[in-house]
Amino acid sequence: MTTHERRVRSFHSRQGRLSPLNATTLENHRTKYLLEPHQAINLHNVFDQERVVLEIGCGFGEATVAMATAEPDIGIIALEVHTRGVARLLQNVDAAGLTNIRAANTDAVPFIRDCIAPLSLHGARIFFPDPWPKARHNKRRLIQPEFASLLASKLAPGAFLHCATDWQPYAEHMLEVLTASNFTNTTQNYLPRPDWRPLTRYEQAGLDKGHAVFDLLFTRHN
């Protein structure tokens, strides 16, 4: 395990007690929708779709379900460390009758490292990750050079990486790290907010505070 992996997690630790309903949801849908977090994944065995996108930090999954509904030809692996979020996602996926979403209740770094084959992903989305705004906590941010290198190793040549944040210092940090990594920026700096990107609850919370929202769209070098 590297220093980065010991230090960086893609979440704040705030697990609460799981309700009986959420526990039942996870148990009922485990076989159909959940991926084991410590096993290598053959994407062709999991998805009918040829193209698969990784979503890191799906929260309660409202945006995930909206994107999966709009893009039925894209498979989505949704990662979320908070079990209540995964349970809510599975409820929504099942209610919508979607077949192109799988979820993993785990942290991003070990899952990407251990479960995803090199050069296999069509893209990755990281929407509103924890900004760790205090200077002494900046090193805990998910987007760091070592993580960018790890993620790039799992993306196919030309695959996309779409990030969004409402914390300007983190946006500037993302821009600097990704520009220096194995990625090419598709714009000069930031991307105008795409109309197709669903509004997330974290984005709305930032907007309510008067924050600007920054989208970044990169492609992996060929």
* 185: three-class secondary structure by DSSP: strand
Tell me the pLDDT band of 13, cut-offs 50, 70 and 90. Answer: very low
70 burial level (CB within 10 Å; 0-12, 13-18, 19+): exposed
Which segment of 11-15, 18-22, 80-84, 126-130 scores lowest on mean pLDDT?
11-15
Query: pLDDT digit string (tens) for 120-156?
Result: 999 999 999 999 999 899 999 999 999 999 999 999 9
- pLDDT > 90? residue 26: no
Segments forming the whole domain that contains residue 95: 3-220
- 7-27: b or e for each residue (b if 16 or more CB lie within 10 Å)? ebbbbeeeeeeeeeebeebbe
Percentage of residues in the chain having pLDDT higher than 90: 82
**166 carries an active-site annotation:** no
174 burial level (CB within 10 Å; 0-12, 13-18, 19+): buried
Three-state SS for 66-101 is: HHHHHCCCEEEEEECCCHHHHHHHHHHHHHHCCCCE
The mean pLDDT of 179-188, rounded to a whole number, is: 96
> How many structural domains comprise the chain?
1
The mean pLDDT of 44-71, rounded to a whole number, is: 97
Structure confidence at residue 23 (pLDDT) = 80
CATH of the domain at 37: 3.40.50.150
Exactly one of 94, 130, 195, 208 is catalytic; which is it?
Answer: 130
- pLDDT > 50? residue 3: no
Tell me the pLDDT band of 16, cut-offs 50, 70 and 90. Answer: low
Query: pLDDT digit string (tens) for 76-92?
Result: 999 999 999 999 999 99
Structure confidence at residue 8 (pLDDT) = 52
168-179 and 145-154 helices, crossing angle to 10°: 60
